Amino acid sequence: MLSTGRHLEKKLFTIDLPPEYPLRQPDVRFKETIFHPNWYSDGRVCFGTQWVPADKLSELVIDIIKMMTFEIVNPRSPANCVANEWYLQNIRNIRHILPKVQFPPPTEEEGLEIYDAAEGLEFYDEK
């Protein structure tokens, strides 16, 4: 959830963990298309070679939010060439606008909503 001072914006996404997790990065997919150099048109997030197995899922979520506010962009590994070209042409304007985008204050009643698709499922270690 992000706040520009006028409204809050919600984005729904899923994080699918492959059997090889954490050695292989999770598949992160948004329900709707995000205009960003590192987002594919089907909603998948492109992390490129930035995935580190020691990273926690909470850090991954924070990085996704930072990507949404253009704090994290990898223009060398674009998933969306049109968005990448736009970003490169407007990077100075984006950096000027970026400080105005912020998380809602902790006193907001509306918090981060997490929907667990695996709720009620049991997981077994295959060892």
Q: Are 108 and 6 in contact (CB under 8 A)?
A: no
Task: Tell me: cis bond preceding 22? Omega within 30 of 0 counts.
Answer: yes
pLDDT bin (cut points 50, 70, 90) of residue 102 is low
Residue 72 to residue 22: CA distance in whole angstroms: 21
In the chain, what are the domain boundaries?
2-100
pLDDT at 127: 46
pLDDT bin (cut points 50, 70, 90) of residue 121 is very low
Q: Which CATH superfamily is domain 2-100 in?
A: Ubiquitin Conjugating Enzyme (3.10.110.10)
Q: Are 39 and 79 in contact (CB under 8 A)?
A: yes
